[in-house]
Amino acid sequence: MTAAKPKGSVLARIQADCKNPAKSTTGQIGTREFQYAPLDQILDEVRPIFKTHNVSCRAETAIEEIASTNAPTQVLMVVNTTLEFEGETIARSTYPVGFLPMNDKDIGSSITYGRRYTLLGVLNIQGDEDLDAQGQADKTNKKRSTTKKNNEKRGAAREFVNTHVAALAAFSTPNHVVTWEITNKEAINALRDRHPKLHEELMSAKDAALVRVGNAMEASGNA
């Protein structure tokens, strides 16, 4: 009789087999260009790995209602990516697409981005070029190395912050940032109570994201 594989070890083996995809496509935020790996490329690379480990990957959109005592109920669309092994969920990631109503073009592009973002998240791989100013490569690499060591020491809380700081760095509108904060409110509050320094780091990243997207939108409007 073959012993069942622990669900956590299956996820660990998948993440170990997955490598950061080549950043083959050029995108643009404001006037800044950056390289990234598109969703279809990532899927082509990871599907054979899922097959090897008998893991299924499911991406779905969902509608959530957010009630408030001081404002009308808001309708939020989210994308969920779930990895399953032997019928059980081993990893799940959620991305807020935006508040409805939205135009069809924005919905389509945001869903694609959400599927890509959540897939990268559950696989713990990086599919975007660092958007910091050029010439900071050495500093960025050193920071990533330090961050990796901190992940090993501080566990899930550190990983949560890293994932969401990366997400904030990729957002292109203030609505993305606000939606992110609403969707992750409970987790952010828990981080504040248990790891105040990590909470401060995450909130600084959120504030920086709001400033960055605001400046980008202002620059675009003045162009």
The answer on 163 and 124 residing in a single domain is no
Instruction: Give CA–CA dist 97/180, Å, rounded.
Output: 9
At 130 the pLDDT is 59
In a domain, 167, yes or no: yes
Instruction: Give CA–CA dist 167/82, Å, rounded.
Output: 18
Q: How many domains does the chain have?
A: 2
Q: For residue 98, what is the DSSP state?
A: E
At 84 the pLDDT is 93
- Better-predicted residue by pLDDT, 104 or 5: 104
Residue bearing tokens 């909130």: 203
Instruction: Give CA–CA dist 115/111, Å, rounded.
Output: 6
At 133 the pLDDT is 46
The pair of three-digit structure tokens given for residue 82, joined into one six-digit string = 């779930």
In a domain, 91, yes or no: yes
Q: Is the dihedral of CA 12, 191, 75, 166 positive or negative?
A: negative
Q: How far from chain centre, in Å, is Cα 210? A: 17
Residue type, 112: T
> Which residue range is the domain that position 97 belongs to?
1-130
Over the stretch 11-65, which tens digit does the pLDDT of each residue have? 999 999 999 999 888 887 777 788 889 999 999 999 999 999 999 999 999 888 8
